[in-house]
Amino acid sequence: AQSVAQPEDQVNVAEGNPLTVKCTYSVSGNPYLFWYVQYPNRGLQFLLKYITGDNLVKGSYGFEAEFNKSQTSFHLKKPSALVSDSALFFCAVSPITGGGNKLTFGTGTQLKVEL
């Protein structure tokens, strides 16, 4: 069985500071890893994914994530946070079996960026 852990319910950051949202995973074999963002009363927007290759993945809105196989982590980062980045972030994992894969989501981390 696969699982995802997001250890922080909320992360508070001052605008202009770097931010990190943590994610660790457990899956048999090699995983597909994803980050999604959700704004209030909206669906999820795809940010980025790791499939294979370079461990540092760049995504939308200046976000990036680093895949660390030894630590089974896929932390989301951004060098300089904006107030508009405030949202709910979900990490997700699926097994590598082609299309139509089930995603397992973490519990979500609320990011709050303040002036």
Partner 1 sequence: GAVVSQHPSRVICKSGTSVKIECRSLDFQATTMFWYRQFPKQSLMLMATSNEGSKATYEQGVEKDKFLINHASLTLSTLTVTSAHPEDSSFYICSADPGAETQYFGPGTRLLVL
Residues 6+ apart with CB under 8 A from 69: 55
Q: Which is nearer to partner 1, 86 or 105 (CB)?
A: 105
State the DSSP code for 65.
E
Task: Kindly write out the interface string for residues 18-57 of this chain, putting x where it contacts partner 1 by CB under 8 A and - elsewhere.
Answer: --------------x-x-x----xxxxxx--x-x------
Q: How far is the CB of 58 from partner 1 (least distance, A)?
A: 15
Tell me which of 58, 69, 102, 112 binds partner 1, using CB under 8 A. 102
Question: Which positions ≥6 away from 75 have C-beta within 8 Å?
Answer: 20, 21, 22, 23, 65, 66, 68
Q: Tell me which residue of 83, 107, 89, 114 sits closest to 20, measured CA to CA.
A: 89
Under the binding rule (CB under 8 A), the answer on residue 89 touching partner 1 is no
Task: Give the position of tokens 């097994």.
Answer: 95
Site residues (CB under 8 A) for partner 1? 32, 34, 36, 41-46, 49, 51, 90, 94, 98-103, 105-108
